[in-house]
Amino acid sequence: MRGLRAVTLATAAIVLAACSRKNDPPTATGEAPATSAAPSVPAEAAVASVSPLTSPPSGIAATLADRLLREAQSRPHIQPNADDVLAAFAQAGGGVVTKRQGLAATYKASFCEGGTTSDGSVTISVCEYADAAAASAGLAALQTIYPAKQARHVLHKDTVLTTLRLQDGPGAQALESKLIAAYTAL
């Protein structure tokens, strides 16, 4: 077994070394240049070419923080938006202590934000969409990702609310119902 492990490790090292070399023409000294395989693109051009709802071009890896920032900067101008919804929840007794932004592209949204109620019984996510048609498509995506038995999804205007009860019992059910009523009243 030890011998097989040593052979496997040696083979992996050889393969990795071979894969890391580029097929660039040799330099004047006869050695291949020690550069990465990724094309050199100015950072400004790379960021400018990526829209908030698409993946970055190949060879350029945008960080999650970059994606979240672009989504936050390109929020649609809709009413109610996620901030309005979360403020209404606070007034209804279901405030979120710490709001967190989620990756909206996962749900075909422009922007998503949410958190867990202060009592820890319900997790909330509000996703914003450019228009009602996009919100309907987002609802379908959310229903696929989080089936109804795990989460509840409600479409209202250009947003979709997703709730997930973290606790069983009538208290969590009552709070979830109160939050949905406050949402649909906006």
pLDDT tens-digit readout, 110-134: 999 999 999 999 999 999 999 999 9
**What would the pLDDT profile of 147-163 be if each residue is shown by its tens digit?**
878 899 999 999 999 99
* 72, part of any domain: no
* 107, part of any domain: yes
Question: How deeply is 115 buried, as exposed, middle or buried, from its count of CB atoms within 10 A (0-12, 13-18, 19+)?
Answer: buried
Domain residues for 105? Answer: 82-185
Least confident of 38-47, 78-87, 170-179: 38-47
* 136, part of any domain: yes
Question: How deeply is 6 buried, as exposed, middle or buried, from its count of CB atoms within 10 A (0-12, 13-18, 19+)?
Answer: exposed
* 92, part of any domain: yes
pLDDT bin (cut points 50, 70, 90) of residue 61 is low
* 89, part of any domain: yes
pTM: 0.67
Number of domains within the chain: 1
* 5, part of any domain: no
* 64, part of any domain: no
